[in-house]
Amino acid sequence: VGGEQISSIGRGLCVLLGISLEDTQRELEHMVRKILNLRVFEDESGKHWSKSVMDKQYEVLCVSQFTLQCILKGNKPDYHMAMPTEQAESFYNNFLEQLRKAYKPELIKDGKFGAYMQVHIQNDGPVTIELESPAATVDPKQLTKLEKQQQRKEKTRTKVPSESSRERNVPRNKDDPSASSGAEGDVSSEREP
**Which 8-state DSSP code applies to residue 171?**
P
Catalytic: which of 67, 85, 144, 158? 67
Pairing between β-strand 59-64 and β-strand 12-17 as defined by DSSP bridges: parallel
Helix, strand, coil: what percent of the chain each, to 5? 35, 15, 50
Question: Hey, how many other C-beta atoms are within 10 angstroms of the C-beta on 50?
Answer: 15
In the chain, count of helices (H) and strands (E)? 5, 5
- Catalytic residue status for 158: no
Q: Which residues are catalytic?
A: 67
